[in-house]
Amino acid sequence: MTGNPWTRVASSLKYATPWFSVREDEVIRPDGEVGTYSVVSVGRLAVGVLPLWSDGSLTLVGQFRYPVDEYSWEIPEGGGDFEDDPLDTARRELREETGLEASGWNYLGRVHTSNCFLDEVCHLYLATGLTQGVAAPGPDEVLQTWRVPFRKAVAMAVDGRITDAISIAAIFRLLQRAPRLATPARQAARR
């Protein structure tokens, strides 16, 4: 009962950019009727990187997100070719957006961002053993970085100061694996 109840009969490309394309599939729906399913297909594999310092703080990246018309504080995110190792993409995006290099990498699993019409998959990573280098954002990226205690990032993800679903998922998964990161005692030890 968990198999694919949809049958694709035909598919045609309707629109394409370097970042995504739209295809229109002629399908036989689960109820047996003929229908159309339009899918936004992301041409790249997405990654999100949670850069955690040894003192329990986290580096967030801030940028104005044009599609939602809001400023957004997030973990470093980006995309790479499907042929590339997602970890290499994660290393590169972390370096470009924040200048950070990490010696430790842990996989935090994947998420689907909007599975009703978008095929995007985002792989999440925890990056540790951080050292600061020089950032090299793209020409259309105006980024700020902000180092916050992990427990503050948790509060922001919960109270809505962070709205980016990828960041929220990464913060949640790390918190569940390392709950002590968010305790006051941990923060007290920083001072």
Binding residues for a second copy, per CB under 8 A? 1-6, 14-15, 17, 19-20, 22, 27, 29-31, 33, 35-41, 62, 64-72, 77, 109-122, 139-142, 144, 154, 157-160, 163-166, 168-169, 171-173, 176-177
Report the residue number, 39 or 101, with the smaller CB distance to a second copy: 39
User: What is the closest distance, in whole angstroms, from the C-beta atom of residue 118 to a second copy in the complex?
Assistant: 6
Report the residue number, 84 or 101, with the smaller CB distance to a second copy: 84
Contacts of 178 (CB under 8 A, 6+ apart): none
Contacts of 115 (CB under 8 A, 6+ apart): none
Three-state SS for 173? helix
User: What is the closest distance, in whole angstroms, from the C-beta atom of residue 66 to a second copy in the complex?
Assistant: 5
CB-based contact 70:190 (threshold 8 Å): no
User: What is the closest distance, in whole angstroms, from the C-beta atom of residue 51 to a second copy in the complex?
Assistant: 19
For 159, the enclosing helix (H) or strand (E) is helix 150-159
Report the residue number, 21 or 101, with the smaller CB distance to a second copy: 21
Query: Residue 1 to residues 4, 5, 30, 86: CA-CA distances in angstroms?
Result: 9, 9, 12, 31
Report the residue number, 54 or 66, with the smaller CB distance to a second copy: 66
